[in-house]
């Protein structure tokens, strides 16, 4: 199968987030980027599907600037065959989906995998919008994906208190959830091979973003912990009642 994996880069989960430009932009100074964890699972699943079927090719695509190239190289080291970067500042989900849809229309993919959401902006929108642009079926939040008979995939999704098993005909878009598989760590051979694999940079085709951020706000900082001795039960009840307001 020819599989496209949509790859978003996100700040490492240990990053201390702050903003610049009147709280409009993320302060990128010192931020370490990683592959969005759901996208790492999508990439691993793409590798497993092609290993099981004995062939095919895997492309990863990112909409964004040159600062994303290290994460694209990491995806190549994990096992993708080629990477594509659509060179524009990604400002909203519609813009990202439209750019990827344009690229998909110019190529020949059987399956597009994306993460269920990015763990920074948490939109959960790109997969659905992409399917709509392409007029392809969408299966959202997949926990299991296997090859089916005659050009279909068998996909499981969690439901409230149960599980749904679906057959979807290709080409299709599937978004990936964490139970799907275990992420692969690139080995030395993969890292060496990644240096010579193709990383193509394409010009954007769309009209850009429809939205802009007015302001970001951080959650209120947590109060310091207060400890009570066993004999201070009255003070504890008072604090829970008057300050924490949970009683
Ligand atoms: C002011 C501002 C500045 C930003 N600057 C940057 C930046 O410099 N670099 C950056 O990477 N993002 C940047 N973003 C985030 C970018 O806008 C998001 O990628 C986009 O809005 C989609 O986010 P989402 O949470 O809706 O994605 P979701 O819909 O939650 O993502 C779901 C899946 O879609 C795919 N996907 C999401 N984004 C991309 C992408 N860019 N390329 C390929 N696949 C993708 C992934 O598979 C992801 O798991 C910025 C956003 C704003 C508002």
Is the minimum distance from the CB of 121 to ligand 1 under 6 angstroms? Answer: yes
Q: What is the CA radius of gyration of the chain?
A: 22
- 35-82: pLDDT as tens digits: 999 999 999 999 999 999 988 999 999 999 999 999 999 999 999 999
Q: How far does residue 4's CA lie from ligand 1's centre (Å)?
A: 17
pLDDT class of 171 with cuts at 50, 70, 90: very high
Residue 180 lies in a domain: yes
6 lines ligand 1 (CB under 6 A): yes
Instruction: Compute the mean pLDDT over every residue in the chain, rounded to the nearest whole number.
Output: 94
Closest Cα to atom 51 of ligand 1? 91
Sheet containing 162-169: order of strands? 162-169, 152-159, 138-147, 172-176, 111-115, 2-6, 57-63, 82-86, 199-202
Span 83-108, average pLDDT: 96
Closest residue by Cα to atom 19, ligand 1, is 90
Contacts of 174 by beta carbon, 8 Å cutoff, 6+ apart: 111, 112, 113, 114, 127, 138, 139, 140, 142, 145, 153, 155, 168
CATH classification at residue 119: 3.40.50.620
Q: Which own/partner contact pairs does 15-18 have at CB distance under 8 Å and 24+ positions apart? A: 17/218, 18/218
Note whether residue 225 is domain-resident: no
- Residue 244 belongs to a domain: no
In a domain, 115, yes or no: yes
- State both tokens at 34: 């990683």
Q: Does residue 96 have its Cβ closer than 6 Å to ligand 1?
A: yes
Which atom of ligand 1 is least distant from the CA of 176? 49
* Inside any domain, residue 190: yes
Q: What is the count of structural domains for the chain?
A: 1
Structural contact between residues 41 and 181, judged by C-beta atoms closer than 8 angstroms: yes
Cβ-contact 119, 37 below 8 angstroms: yes
Q: 3-state DSSP call for residue 188?
A: helix
Distance of CA 220 to the CA centre of its chain: 27
Look at residue 111 and tell me if it is in a domain. Answer: yes
Is the Cβ–Cβ distance between 3 and 53 less than 8 Å? no
- Residue 25 alpha carbon, nearest atom of ligand 1: 1
Domain range for 10: 2-215
Distance (angstroms) between ligand 1 centre and the Cα of 188 equals 29
Token representation of residue 220: 């209120």
- Residues 177-222 pLDDT 10s: 999 999 999 999 999 999 999 999 999 998 889 988 999 998 888 8
The number of beta carbons lying within 10 Å of the beta carbon of residue 79 is 21
The DSSP result for 32-57, as a single string, is PEEE-HHHHHHHHHHHHHHHHHT--E
Which residues are registered as beta bridge partners of 154? Answer: 146, 167
Does residue 132 lie in a domain region? yes
| 171 falls within a domain | yes
């Amino acid at each position: 199968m020819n599989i496209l994996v949509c790859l978003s880069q996100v700040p490492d989960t240990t990053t201390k987030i702050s903003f610049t430009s009147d709280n409009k932009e993320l302060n990128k100074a010192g931020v370490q980027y990683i592959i969005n964890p759901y996208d790492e699972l999508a990439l691993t699943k793409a590798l497993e599907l092609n290993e099981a079927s004995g062939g095919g090719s895997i492309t990863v695509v990112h909409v964004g600037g040159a600062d994303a190239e290290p994460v694209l190289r990491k995806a190549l080291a994990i096992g993708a065959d080629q990477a594509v970067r659509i060179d524009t500042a990604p400002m909203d989900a519609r813009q990202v989906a439209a750019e990827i849809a344009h690229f998909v229309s110019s190529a020949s993919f059987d399956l597009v995998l994306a993460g269920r959401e990015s763990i920074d902006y948490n939109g959960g929108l790109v997969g659905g919008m992409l399917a709509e642009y392409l007029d392809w079926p969408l299966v959202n939040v997949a926990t299991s994906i296997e090859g089916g008979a005659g050009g279909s995939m068998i996909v499981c999704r969690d439901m409230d208190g149960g599980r749904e098993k679906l057959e979807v005909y290709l080409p299709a878009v599937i978004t990936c959830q964490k139970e799907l598989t275990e992420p692969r760590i690139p080995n030395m051979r993969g890292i060496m091979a990644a240096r010579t694999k193709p990383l193509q940079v394409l010009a954007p085709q769309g009209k850009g973003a429809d939205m802009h951020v007015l302001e970001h706000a951080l959650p209120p900082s947590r109060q310091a912990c207060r400890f009570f001795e066993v004999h201070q039960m009255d003070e504890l009840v008072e604090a829970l009642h008057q300050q924490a307001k949970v009683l």
